[in-house]
Amino acid sequence: MTEPLIIGAMVRTLGAYPSGWRQPGAHRDPAADAAILRHIAREGEDAGLDYLFFGDWLATGPDLEFRDPYLLARIDPVSAVLFLAGVTSRIGLIATVNTTYADPYTTARSLASLDVLTGGRAGVNLVTGAEPRAAGNHGRDAHADNETRYDRAEEFVEALRRLWDSWDEDAWIADAARGVLIDPQGLRAADLQGSQVRVTGPLNVARPPQGQIPIVHAGTSPRSRALAATEADLALTAAPTLADAIATRRLLRDIAAEAGRSPDAVKVIAPVLPVVADTDADARRIVERLLALVPLAEGHQAARTAFPPNRTVAALADAFDVAADDPLRTAAFDRPVTAAEAVRLGERGAALIERLAGIAGLRVSESGSASGDPLTWRHLVAANAVPAAFVVGDARTIADHFETWRDEGAADGFNVLSAFQPAQFEAFTRHAAPELRRRGLLRDAAEGEGETLRDRLRISSYVDA
């Protein structure tokens, strides 16, 4: 019997697809996040998921309404995991921290506190951030460049490790009869004097039950790959295809091995956006609705400043190198794409059209007036402008995807995104999760009581490479 996959939920209460909040019954009020977060946490824990994961973004603005509405207003990740600590008992809780702006001592302290309060269920995702507006929110003139950010991130990790190691396991004596509370020899300073991070320590929180709290890293640049491969327990990747994912995982494992670390020490986690329904056809209809409701440059949207520039037929035509005088550039969004026009979109157009047949059941008609579900320019523009790791179908189709990626060496696990809440997360936990469990890809829901996140993720103890 092979080991189960690592499967966690990447929680975005407004839904992970930009038109998710517009679906019937979808959660759409971030001021009411408490109830939906509680619901998602219980649902995920009951389904046997390994962790709840919260990303972070250190700024907001009206442009996000169209690009990533879930980023507009949400609970900060450390607050979210602390809130959920009290309503869960087994599931891991991973919060994102931005190393460019966060203070390492404060981060070590709040994560150690979460670990103590949850009996060892804390994890931290370290990112260096890609949002330039974050600088203005933190008193900086500009967002630091990639090299500077990763120099700091590396020192940040070192600071966390030293601070979490402040107390020896047996330093807390609490011998009431003798009046001896601690062994002062077991309390260690951090004494890190880096170029960007300086911290003395020790940490004023008890030793975390996990000792070293699992570290996750998400990024795409070469420096990010190096940090993930040498320091992280979980590496979050964003490979769009199976072939890319296999190559990325291999690269991370190779870098780990070169650094003297076991390649198995870094678990590679791929994002997936399952759209789950009772039948493949029903699931495709949900994707069609999601695509149809993506805001495009029309009506009141077009008048908004900072509207994403790629939401027009002309922008799609540019992306696919269509001739400048081709009349398809002015096609109305709701007109079906004709076979002749599809040819003029070239190879990349053909690939997108094939993908839309698979995920949304949409097809190009010979005449341009197809019966059934015709592919329109709206669908094409939306799918091109808002790519997503869609996997669409019934429980078996979803489980087949997870199994294939595991068998092909593309991923050690998945971060499950839900297009809208709570219906699509419930569809995953109630339909797909039992099928995954039946195949041995997901742990039994009842397992894991009293286990730490480190145990759940089967992370070997931290070895300094």
Ligand X SMILES: Cc1cc2nc3c(=O)[nH]c(=O)nc-3n(C[C@H](O)[C@H](O)[C@H](O)COP(=O)(O)O)c2cc1C
Which chain residues interact with ligand X by CB under 6 A?
Answer: 55-57, 96, 98, 127-130, 146, 218-221, 224, 236, 238, 271
Cβ at position 55, least distance to ligand X in Å: 3
Q: Which two tokens stand for residue 459?
A: 């992370």
Cβ at position 160, least distance to ligand X in Å: 17
Cβ at position 360, least distance to ligand X in Å: 24
Q: What's the sign of the alpha-carbon dihedral 44, 82, 225, 158? A: negative
The residue nearest ligand X at its CB is: 55
Which residue, 219 or 374, is less far from ligand X as judged by CB? 219
User: Cβ atoms within 10 A of the Cβ of 31, count?
Assistant: 6
Give the CA distances from residue 356 to residues 14, 362, 363, 418, in Å, rounded to whole numbers and listed in that order: 24, 6, 8, 19
Q: Rounded to an integer, what distance in angstroms lies between the CA atom of residue 30 and that of residue 140?
A: 28
Which residue, 128 or 230, is less far from ligand X as judged by CB? 128
Return the closest-CA partner of residue 110 out of 160, 177, 185, 183: 160
Half-sphere exposure at residue 202, Cβ-oriented, CA atoms within 13 angstroms: 16
Which residue, 160 or 313, is less far from ligand X as judged by CB? 160
Which residue, 146 or 148, is less far from ligand X as judged by CB? 146
Q: Rounded to an integer, what distance in angstroms lies between the CA atom of residue 248 and that of residue 246?
A: 6
Cβ at position 124, least distance to ligand X in Å: 12
Which residue, 98 or 107, is less far from ligand X as judged by CB? 98
| CA 5 to chain CA mean position, Å | 16
Cβ at position 414, least distance to ligand X in Å: 11
Q: Rounded to an integer, what distance in angstroms lies between the CA atom of residue 78 and that of residue 373?
A: 44
Which residue, 196 or 221, is less far from ligand X as judged by CB? 221
Q: Rounded to an integer, what distance in angstroms lies between the CA atom of residue 306 and that of residue 395?
A: 39
Q: Which two tokens stand for residue 97?
A: 């921290």
Cβ at position 149, least distance to ligand X in Å: 7
Which residue, 220 or 241, is less far from ligand X as judged by CB? 220
Half-sphere exposure at residue 137, Cβ-oriented, CA atoms within 13 angstroms: 13
Which residue, 16 or 362, is less far from ligand X as judged by CB? 16
Q: Rounded to an integer, what distance in angstroms lies between the CA atom of residue 249 and that of residue 431?
A: 28
Overall size of the chain counted in residues: 465
Which residue, 66 or 101, is less far from ligand X as judged by CB? 101
Cβ at position 390, least distance to ligand X in Å: 15
Unique residue bearing structure tokens 């570290």:
215
Give the CA distances from residue 43 to residues 93, 151, 380, 394, 429, in Å, rounded to whole numbers and listed in that order: 14, 39, 34, 19, 7
Return the closest-CA partner of residue 316 out of 379, 257, 358: 379
Q: Rounded to an integer, what distance in angstroms lies between the CA atom of residue 264 and that of residue 431?
A: 30
Task: Report the DSSP pairing between strands 234-236 and 215-218.
Answer: parallel
Cβ at position 178, least distance to ligand X in Å: 48
Asked whether the beta carbons of 379 and 367 are under 8 A apart, the reply is: no
Which residue, 149 or 161, is less far from ligand X as judged by CB? 149
Cβ at position 244, least distance to ligand X in Å: 12
Cβ at position 420, least distance to ligand X in Å: 19
